[in-house]
Amino acid sequence: MTRTIILPLFFFLVAISLFLSAASKEEKHQVDPKTCIGCTLCVQACPSKAILMKDGKAIIDPERCINCTLCVQKCPTKAIRGPTVKPAAEKKTK
Query: What are the sequence ranges of the domains in the chain?
Result: 2-82
3-state secondary structure of 74: helix
Q: If we measure between CA atoms, which residue out of 47, 55, 58, 49 comes closest to residue 81?
A: 58
Q: Tell me: pLDDT of 39 over 80.
A: yes
Q: If we measure between CA atoms, which residue out of 71, 40, 44, 45 comes closest to residue 56?
A: 40
Give the pLDDT confidence of 42-54 residue by residue, as tens digits: 999 999 999 999 9
pTM of the model: 0.62
For residue 92, what is the enclosing H or E element?
helix 88-93
Q: Do the Cβ atoms of 43 and 50 come closer than 8 Å?
A: no
Determine the CATH number of domain 2-82: 3.30.70.20
Range from 2-6, 32-36, 39-43 carrying the lowest mean pLDDT:
2-6
3-state secondary structure of 12: helix
